[in-house]
Amino acid sequence: MTTTSPYSSRRALTSRALATIAVCGALALGACGAPGSGSSPHPKAKSPSSISTNPAKAGKVTLSVWDQEVRGGQNAEITQLNKEFSAKYPNVTIKRTSKSFSDLKTTLKLALSGNNPPDVVEANQGYPDMVAFVKAGMLLPLDAYAQAYGWTKRYPASLLALNKVSSDASHFGEGKLYGLSQMGEYVGVYYNKTTLKQLGLTPPTTWSELVADLSKIKAKGELPIQFGNLDKWPAIHTFGTIQAATAGKQDVRNLVFGTGHAAWTSAPSVQAAKTLQEWATKGYFPSGVNGVGYDDANKQFAHGKGVFEITGTWEAATLKGPMGSSLGLMPTPPGSKGLASTGGESLAFGVTSKSKTPDVAAAYIDFITNPHAADVMLRTGNLPAVPGQAASSLSSASLEGQMVAGWQKINSADGLVPYLDYSTPTFYDTITAALQDLIGGKSTPRQFTETLQADYSKFRQG
């Protein structure tokens, strides 16, 4: 009867049936479908005309919000904004649940799979989180709201792109919008003003000036760049900075978002890897850098060891404590292809597709990202994604002033390049391990880029 069917597939079918019987039967598991088969179909997007932008008319509603803004200044800004929203719309009760980043990451999936998920959630950009949520139909596309509220005018395109997922959920960086981020962050070059002055140097304004300074500093017996890579991820930012300056913003964006026919084995990326390895062998980093902790390196830099340090704006407050006015910060100095600095934005506030009040949820997201909210964020010590009025009152000599000015400079030049570990779902593992190999001299720059390309091709083809 079924003689035409290939033997192999029949055997596969039999083995699957046997396994099903063995597992389900022996353990008497009630329902034994494929995991995740109960998930919802893809949500329908609303048309802009059917949107109500006035939550006051929504009647009595409870808005359940899950965020990860648990730390000092972050908690302060969201608490204040929630209070203001409730005062403006007394009919809306905000039920806030805040968890630390890693707690949110591990519990959000379960919460979203349930029948009664929160209305607004903060989703981490990238394949394992936001793209997976979109693929499973758990987030609502917000393009109609973006049109109604004018978000496309509020945000620079590069920041909106990070919160977009393609319609087939195969990649991100373009497609439909699934959330808005409150805050920005970028990887820049911190410098010790005091040591730099003692060495007779001024802060570099271009990439080649920075590179020239490194050898001068080394010749004078000082440590050029403070750096610790025991925790594996810090090197992503060091390499990302070198690559941004060498390859330029378009190349890096093409690589990370998989647009065009970019390859990690291209000449500029190999050159960037070569530079990083040379810096290690020339002693521009502390010796045994793969064995130095990230926090230890920051501590050393704060206590005057190292003239430069390449890391993110999230360290500004920590470094400023002991260093005070001798701490300076700039975006990555522009290379021959213009200003390009690695960076991104905080987790995106999105609306779940099962939310019963998506209009109120979107109004809330609009409220916590508008120009007034930006001022609240700045006053509570955060870097708003789109700085508002209050930013102009900062002193340009202060660290906060430098940080905000650097962010505005990057965005007005459209110079923000994405984090490299966004490239594939497994890229974080691949690049962190490969960078330790490269820095430790265990692999050549070419082998390093081939390792990255292997992971990349596998994902793009699969």
Partner 1 sequence: MANRARAAYRRRAPGEPRALGYLYIAPALLVFVAMVIVPLGQSVWYSLFNWDGLSVATWVGVDNYTALFSDPTLRGPFLHALVLLVFYALLPISLGLLLAVVMSRVRVRGLTFFRTVLFLPQVLAMVVVAVTWRWIYAPTGLLNQALRLVGLGGLTASWLGSFSLALPAVGVAGTWVGFGLCMVLFLAGVQTVPRERYEAARLDGAGPWQEFRAVTLPALRPQIAVAATLTIVAGLRNFDLIYLTTAGGPGTSTAVPAYEVYHRAFEIGQVGSAAAVGIGLTVLIFALTVVVSRLVEGHE
Binding site for partner 1 (CB under 8 A): 12, 15-16, 19, 23-24, 26-27, 29, 32, 34-37, 39, 105-106, 109, 112-113, 127-128, 132-133, 135-136, 138, 229-232, 286-293, 296, 425-426, 428-429, 432-434, 436-437, 440, 442
Residue 14: CB minimum distance to partner 1, A: 11
Q: What are phi and psi of 417, to 5 degrees?
A: -110, 145
| Cβ proximity to partner 1, 3 vs 287, nearer residue | 287
**Of 175, 202, 177, which Cα lies nearest the Cα of 191?**
202
Residue 17: CB minimum distance to partner 1, A: 11
| Cβ proximity to partner 1, 238 vs 341, nearer residue | 238
Cross-sheet strand order for the sheet of 92-98? 92-98, 61-67, 120-123, 348-351, 180-181
Cα–Cα distance, 248 to 334 (Å, whole number) = 9
**Of 291, 277, 278, which Cα lies nearest the Cα of 434?**
277
Coil vs helix vs strand at 293: coil
Q: Are 263 and 254 in contact (CB under 8 A)?
A: no
Residue 290: CB minimum distance to partner 1, A: 3
Residue 366: CB minimum distance to partner 1, A: 27
Neighbours of 316 (CB within 10 A): 20
| Cβ proximity to partner 1, 127 vs 186, nearer residue | 127
| Cβ proximity to partner 1, 24 vs 45, nearer residue | 24
| Cβ proximity to partner 1, 124 vs 254, nearer residue | 124
Q: How many helices (H) and strands (E) does the chain have?
A: 20, 13
CA distances (Å), origin 418, targets 316, 445, 450: 20, 22, 21
Helix, strand, coil percentages in the chain from 3-state DSSP, rounded to 5: 50, 15, 35
Q: Which residue has the tokens 């060091």?
A: 238
Residue 200: CB minimum distance to partner 1, A: 28
Residue 119: CB minimum distance to partner 1, A: 18
Residue 285: CB minimum distance to partner 1, A: 11
Maximal CA-CA distance, the chain: 89
| Cβ proximity to partner 1, 109 vs 220, nearer residue | 109
| Cβ proximity to partner 1, 59 vs 128, nearer residue | 128
CA distances (Å), origin 312, targets 189, 281, 346: 8, 24, 13
| Cβ proximity to partner 1, 8 vs 47, nearer residue | 8
Residue 358: CB minimum distance to partner 1, A: 20
